Amino acid sequence: MTLSKNTYPLQTLVGVGVLLIGLGLAFGALTIPSAAGYGGVGPNFLPWLVALSLLVCAGFIIWESLTGGFRAIDDAGDGPAPYWLGFAWMSAGLLANAALITTIGFIFSCTLCFVLAVQGLKGAEGATHRGPAVWVKDVLIGMAISAPVYWMFTQFLAINLPGITSTGWL
């Protein structure tokens, strides 16, 4: 492998970031038991598959950035600026879901995630002034999506998801 005279440090940094995420996921997969379940694969199969995929992608990204940069990348031009507030709303939704799922249960944490993500997406569309009625509608839609998912997993598939009661219905 011959390295190009023009290295692209930001592109290499992206590759290193993907590499660190892949390594973190692989480290987390080490703690998941590997006992084979239904279908002959254990619960650690998918985390290992994703971790290995990320590590392979990271290798390609780093190699590409060190041998001349991303050759087929389009020039960003003068397009619209990223909507960072929407990114923050969506990130807050995902992080809140992860932090609260064992405290307030699957249904309510996923509903919160949905409401915050919708706030970010609507803001990206330009709808920045949303009244309380719209927030209530978003909560009801989020519950209408997350509750049946929870019930399907807990009642019909017998897969334990965090709930706030021991009945499996909430």
pLDDT digits (tens, 9 = 90+) for 53-109: 999 999 999 999 888 877 777 766 677 778 899 999 999 999 999 999 888 988 999
Q: Band the pLDDT of 9: cuts 50, 70, 90.
A: confident
Q: Are 7 and 65 in contact (CB under 8 A)?
A: yes
pLDDT at 36: 65
Q: Tell me 118's DSSP state.
A: H
Task: Measure the CA–CA gap between 160 and 149, rounded to whole angstroms.
Answer: 12
- SS3 (DSSP) at 134: helix
Top mean pLDDT of 6-10, 54-58, 123-127, 151-155 is at 54-58
Q: Are 116 and 97 in contact (CB under 8 A)?
A: no
Q: Are 18 and 58 in contact (CB under 8 A)?
A: yes
